[in-house]
Amino acid sequence: MIEHFSAVWMEMAANPLFNLTLTLLVFVSASYLYRQFNNNPLLNPVLVSIVVLVGLLYVTSTPYDIYFKGAQFLHFLLGPATVALAIPLYRQLERVKKSAAAILFSVLCGSITAAGTAIFITWLMGAQWVSIISIAPKSVTTPVAMGITEQLGGLPSLTAAIVILTGIIGAMFAPALLKLCGVEDEAAKGIAIGAASHGVGTARAIQISEVAGAFSGLAMGLNALATALLLPILWQLFRG
Amino acid sequence: MLEYLTLILICQLVGEISINLLELPIPGPVVGMILLFLYLLAKGAVPSALSNVSSTLLTNMSVLFIPAGVGVMAHTTLLKTDFWPIMIAMVVSTLVTIIVTALVMKKLNKTSPPDGAPQPND
């Protein structure tokens, strides 16, 4: 009997349907928990889901490849969702046009602040060069950040982990922090969240308002471009 | 609805192909976003079926980051060297970036004329 169960379990755990359902079930439960605790940022559903799923994979010694066979259906939709950001952006076209100069300058400030403070703090705390390079593009969307790191001689896989965590930190604390700083302008909220915490932050900004989501998506794209161009120069100055 | 899902995928596909051909340092979906944006500019309005597809994708965008997140967090050994410098820099730098960017944007947006006011150069 037990052998039979364990055989069925092994088969189920390798089934894409199981891992897709598991991911959704964990996220839906985490979202429920989050609402139950009045949207406490420490219970951010993305963070809680990742921790729970990593724990489950570890306990059941399921290799990530097997898990991903199911989870990839969600992962795949990230591309189309990014393309779909064009719609809120188009709806805010008038506001974007009016604030074009302000948007460009703010994102530029954000890009330099993000890389500059990350480099400075890790350097001050005596981190190795490879860690300093790998954290520098942390506020940029994952594929671009990994490309920048690779170009400068860091570890792209370390960058990927840091980028995801940065996005989660932004998504967790941005709303409360912006309130604390008296920022009520939805456009300013969106630009700040997108520039500091890329797609994960943008997904959170969409929940704040459509305006914040549109500006966040725009800031994410502009910041990727600005950082890809500026960071190699900033890095030269810092090392020179 | 299906035709607009197809349109979104076409934009992404053309984006992926063009970054490969032109060796651009930006992701394919971002180019796809620009293409869809240009389509909307040409069309002059958002078709309601497209709006439905996009809001389904965008309101649930958070969950889409979980598979990648699980992947990178499963490789925790990477975070063992320089754990504290990385953690502290990550948190402080992200929060400072949010504050700086938001305050700059708030300041610049405020100094521009409010809605409907005549622009100096009009």
Q: Rounded to 5 degrees, what angle do the CA atoms B100, A198, A143 make?
A: 130
Quote the pLDDT of residue B77.
66
The number of residues in chain A equals 240
**Closest residue to B46, CB basis, from A68, A90, A105:** A90
At residue B119 the predicted structure's pLDDT band, cuts being 50, 70 and 90, is very low
Provide, as residue numbers in chain A, all residues whose Cβ is less than 8 Å from the Cβ of B77: none
For residue A86, which amino acid is it?
A
- Does the pLDDT of residue B116 top 50, yes or no? no
Are A87 and B95 in contact (CB < 8 Å)? no
**Cβ-based neighbours of B91, under 8 Å, separated by 6 or more:** A169
Give the rounded distance of the alpha carbon of A9 from its chain centre. Answer: 33
Are B85 and A177 in contact (CB < 8 Å)? no
Question: What ipTM does the predicted assembly reach?
Answer: 0.91
Tokens standing for A193? 């969240």
Quote the pLDDT of residue B117.
46
Domain boundaries, chain B: 1-62, 82-112
**Closest residue to B86, CB basis, from A57, A64, A122:** A122
Are B105 and A141 in contact (CB < 8 Å)? no
**Cβ-based neighbours of A212, under 8 Å, separated by 6 or more:** A186, A187, A189, A190, A193, A205, A206
Instruction: Summarize pLDDT for B68-111 with one digit per residue, the tens.
Output: 899 887 766 667 789 999 999 999 999 999 999 999 999 998 75
Quote the pLDDT of residue B122.
40
How far apart CA B84 and CA A166 sit, in angstroms, is 15
Q: What is the pLDDT along chain A (240 residues), one digit of tens a residue?
A: 777 877 887 777 788 999 999 999 999 999 999 999 998 999 999 999 999 999 999 898 889 999 999 999 999 999 999 999 999 999 999 999 999 999 999 999 999 999 999 999 999 999 999 999 999 999 999 888 998 998 899 988 899 999 999 999 999 999 999 999 999 999 999 999 999 999 999 999 999 999 999 999 999 999 998 999 899 988 888 877
For residue A138, give the nearest of B83, B71, B26, B97 by alpha carbon.
Answer: B97
How far apart CA A89 and CA A96 sit, in angstroms, is 8
Provide, as residue numbers in chain B, all residues whose Cβ is less than 8 Å from the Cβ of A101: 108
Tokens standing for A34? 């989050």
Quote the pLDDT of residue B80.
78
Sign of CA dihedral A19, A28, A52, A3: negative
Tokens standing for A217? 């998506």
**A179, A182, A188, A194: CA torsion to nearest 10:** -30
Is the pTM above the cut of 0.80? yes
